[in-house]
Amino acid sequence: MKKAIFNLILLISFNCFCQNKVINIEYEIFYNTDLPNTQFANLYINESTDESIYIKKTKSKESREIKKEEDNSFTIKYSSKNNSNHMDFKNNTLKSIESIFGDEYLIEEKIPLLKWKSIDETKMIDTISVSKAVCEFRGRKYIAWYSLDYPLKYGPWKLQGLPGLIFEVYDETKRYNWIIKKISHEFIDENKFIVTIENAKKINIKEYPNIKYNNNSIDQKLLTKLPRGTSISSSEITRNGLEIKFEWEE
């Protein structure tokens, strides 16, 4: 992370953001999975409406459009092929888009209440002082480094709720790793944060594990892609995604 980036960040006062400014944070994500790879995501924050949207980029060029509406709101439109998480803190709603075996789902739930535990430890990320916190969330233990110089409760994916912006976070096994690479802001005259989502099947969070990890539904998906008459032998699915154990399964 180059110092020039943070020299630009220091010029931005997060405490005086007006309604026509949206914070744009770019995270680099390293997946230490069976096929290790690096991806990127954008976290857009609208403090005036207490909302954020986290959009993970696909390998292809990001498709994003900001369009002014007649009611002086603005709409951020994006391809549903990009997995995303839209948090509306005023209404305590979290809407996530995820592609599961080629089908797009809109998963609805309340914003998770993460029980962060502060650790008396700090370090520097370039010129930024960050503090340590840990929490357990849906089967994984996360270690986060956040900055009190940026009093924003937001972070990547569903990770949020700290007294400062999350600059770096990873799970205990370091299978999933996020770090901020760039912060900027966009000047937009509109004052509402509206997300348009198309071509996705709506489900609630309690339906999600059965769709993502259910052997029978996965077998059916695979059979549609194989020659007629093909049979497959099922085996127990290992949960190795971001969410591997849910609250109601405890």
CATH label of the domain that carries residue 12: 2.50.20
Q: Contact 164/150 with Cβ under 8 angstroms?
A: yes
- Tell me the pLDDT tens digit for each residue of 218-238: 555 554 555 665 554 555 567
| Position 242 in a domain | no
- Mean pLDDT confidence for 119-144: 95
Regarding beta strands 201-204 and 103-109, do their DSSP bridges make them parallel or antiparallel, or are they unpaired?
parallel
- Mean pLDDT confidence for 94-100: 89
- Tell me the pLDDT tens digit for each residue of 57-76: 865 444 455 554 555 454 55
Indicate the pLDDT class of residue 142, thresholds 50, 70 and 90: very high
Indicate the pLDDT class of residue 10, thresholds 50, 70 and 90: very low
| Position 14 in a domain | yes
Q: Report percent pLDDT > 90 for the chain.
A: 44
Residue 216: phi and psi, rounded to 5, are -65, -45
List strand residue ranges (DSSP E) for the chain, in order.
Answer: 21-31, 37-46, 51-56, 64-68, 74-78, 84-88, 93-100, 103-109, 117-125, 128-137, 140-147, 165-171, 176-187, 193-196, 201-204
Cα distance from N-terminal residue to C-terminal residue, the chain: 40
| Position 231 in a domain | no
Q: What's the confidence (pLDDT) of residue 79?
A: 47
Cβ contacts of 230 within 8 Å, gap of 6 or more: 223
- Tell me the pLDDT tens digit for each residue of 35-53: 888 999 999 898 888 889 8
Q: What's the confidence (pLDDT) of residue 75?
A: 54
Question: How many domains would you assign to the chain?
Answer: 1
Question: Considering only 50-54, 194-198, 210-214, which range has the smallest mean pLDDT?
Answer: 194-198
Q: What's the confidence (pLDDT) of residue 182?
A: 93
| Position 201 in a domain | no
Range(s) of the domain holding residue 99: 3-196
| Position 118 in a domain | yes
Question: Considering only 7-16, 123-132, 138-147, 190-199, which range has the smallest mean pLDDT?
Answer: 7-16
| Position 53 in a domain | yes
| Position 189 in a domain | yes
Indicate the pLDDT class of residue 187, thresholds 50, 70 and 90: low
| Position 215 in a domain | no
> Is the pLDDT at 217 greater than 80, yes or no?
no
DSSP letter at 244?
-
C-alpha span between 95 and 139 (Å, rounded)? 20
Residue in 179, 157, 197 with CA at minimum distance from that of residue 54: 157
